Amino acid sequence: MEFSDKQKEIRRLLKDRRAIMLAHNYQPAEIQDVADFVDDSLGLSITASQTDAEVIVFCGVHFMAETAAIICPDKTVLLPRLDVGCCLAESVTAAKLLARKAELPGVPVVTYVNSTAAVKAESDICCTSANAVRVVNSLTARQVLMIPDQNLALYTARHTSKDIEIIAWEGWCNVHDGLTVEEVEEWKAARPQALFVAHPECNPEVLDLADAVRSTSGMLKFVHESPVQEFIIGTEKGILHRMRRENPGKHFYSPSKRLICRPMKRITLDDVIAALTETRHRVTVPENIRVKALRAVERMLAVPRD
């Protein structure tokens, strides 16, 4: 693939600064194409924990860069823009979590990585959409509080092999939760040969229609390995770029015009150039919070991958 002038400038700056560029699967195509790694939240966290680069330019939403800052305090983690929040992460604060914990004494808290460092710091273990079921299966408790995504909590409750009660937080992602059964059914009727692959942040009625439920990188693996040629994709549209690039000849459809995460789309090539040239915007976490949050993230990373 031929890089544009701005992309060439980014590659030059990355080399000069001994930096790597990480991008989430929902990022704009031109950002994904120039990044060193494009992955889901778990994959990006693992890459951040293993890199020997001095600078990490994180193209994703705020909690993702913050997770890298929790794991890599000695590295400079840069978020090219600050106006890239996640509505799901914003649905819980440390104060609200502490109040709920007081009502549930002794109940461990499983926290989706889509959360702030301050919330992770008050949690027992983190999880992502790729490992939520495995994380819950690794626990010995009979009851857990799972925050902040109620759809992921309900999905995990249905699929855990443990006899465990999962208490869900009332939070959701507006992008995924907004996908409706009617929209999916309409697409399934129009494309009966297509498989429907969904993210666990979708609501349970939509997940009931899915042929596979996966994290974003899990979806990429699924469509690549499947002999089927057509797929309806129940997650943010940005992922279709990688799906099409990696699977020429296969067809991918987005079932709703609303499957767009606006904050994920804000970062531009100019923002990345400015981030690398001016060392902005550095994401840091106060040490007392970072150490506590790291414990929850490390417990998650210790759960074996499939």
Q: Which residues bind ligand SF4 (CB under 6 A)?
A: 61, 86-88, 114, 173, 175-176, 201, 236, 261, 264
128 contact choice in ligand 13P, ligand SF4, none (CB below 5 to 8 Å, kind-dependent): ligand 13P
Among the listed residues 8, 15, 285, 302, the one whose alpha carbon sits nearest the alpha carbon of residue 134: 302
Binder of residue 87, out of ligand 13P, ligand SF4, none (CB less than 5 to 8 A by kind) = ligand SF4
CB-CB contact of 128 with 185 (8 Å): no
Minimum CB distance to ligand SF4, residue 32 (Å): 15
Sheet order of strands, 165-168 included = 125-127, 109-112, 143-147, 165-168
For the CB of residue 197, give the shortest distance to ligand 13P in the complex, in Å: 12
- The span from the CA of 268 to the CA of 30, in Å, is 8
Which residues inside 215-244 make contact with ligand 13P, applying CB under 6 A?
215-216
Closer Cβ to ligand 13P, 199 or 241, answer by number? 199
Tokens 């009966």 sit on residue: 192
Distance of CA 300 to the CA centre of its chain: 14
Give which of ligand 13P, ligand SF4, none residue 129 binds (C-beta under 5 to 8 Å, depending on kind). Answer: ligand 13P
| Residue 83 DSSP SS3 | coil
Site for ligand 13P in 165-224 (CB under 6 A): 173, 199, 201, 215-216
Among 115, 59, 111, which Cα is nearest to 87's? 115
Q: How many CB atoms lie within 10 A of CB 72?
A: 18
**Residue 79 or 139: which CB sits closer to ligand SF4?**
79
Residue 254's binding partner out of ligand SF4, ligand 13P, none, with CB under 5 to 8 Å set by partner kind: none
Shortest separation between residue 104's beta carbon and ligand 13P, angstroms: 26
Q: Are 22 and 57 in contact (CB under 8 A)?
A: yes
Annotate each residue in 16-35 with x if it binds ligand 13P (CB under 6 A) or - if it does not, as one string: ---------x----------
- Spatial separation of the C-alpha atoms in residues 192 and 206, rounded to whole Å: 16
Q: Which residues contact ligand 13P (rule: CB under 6 A)?
A: 25, 40-42, 114, 128-129, 173, 199, 201, 215-216
